[in-house]
Amino acid sequence: MSASATNPTTAPPVATTTPVIGKREVDITTAAADEIAKQKAKRGTPEAMIRLGVRGGGCTGFTYVFEWADAAKPTDKQFSGTTATGEVVGVVIDPKSLVYLGGMQLDFTRGMMGHGFKFNNPNAKGACGCGESVNF
């Protein structure tokens, strides 16, 4: 047997892939969808959606917008996420914000330092230490 031979009893490593998110798409994780559904139920507005966006301001130039929307505007792009129980929740983004948010993943994390929504945004070039503003 040569030194380059492989052991037939050892399985090759399995490649793991992260979902590819298009530049005009936003991914909502199950954890984020679960929290949106929970807050929507508390609020008592079953048709409400979350509006994501960016606006000028903050230490580094922009701040994320995260607010309730009772209806989508005609120009909004709509996205959906599915909870662990199969409930579908909606997220809307205006076209100008989608330029900055396209390709991102909205997640919800819990940890020793607290919990909250996390914008995993590949378009962000930097963020302020306070975590409230972002630079593109």
- Please choose, from the candidates 126, 74, 118, 124, the residue with its C-alpha nearest in 3D space to the C-alpha of residue 99: 124
Reported CATH class of domain 27-127: mainly beta
Domain boundaries along the sequence of the chain: 27-127
- Model pLDDT, residue 69: 95
Quick check: 73 and 50 in contact, CB under 8 A?
no
3 pLDDT more than 60: no
Percent of the chain with pLDDT over 90: 50
Quick check: 101 and 93 in contact, CB under 8 A?
yes
Quick: pLDDT tens for 9-65. Answer: 554 544 444 566 777 889 999 999 999 999 999 999 888 999 999 988 777 778 888
Name the percent of the chain in helix, strand, coil, to the closest 5: 15, 35, 50
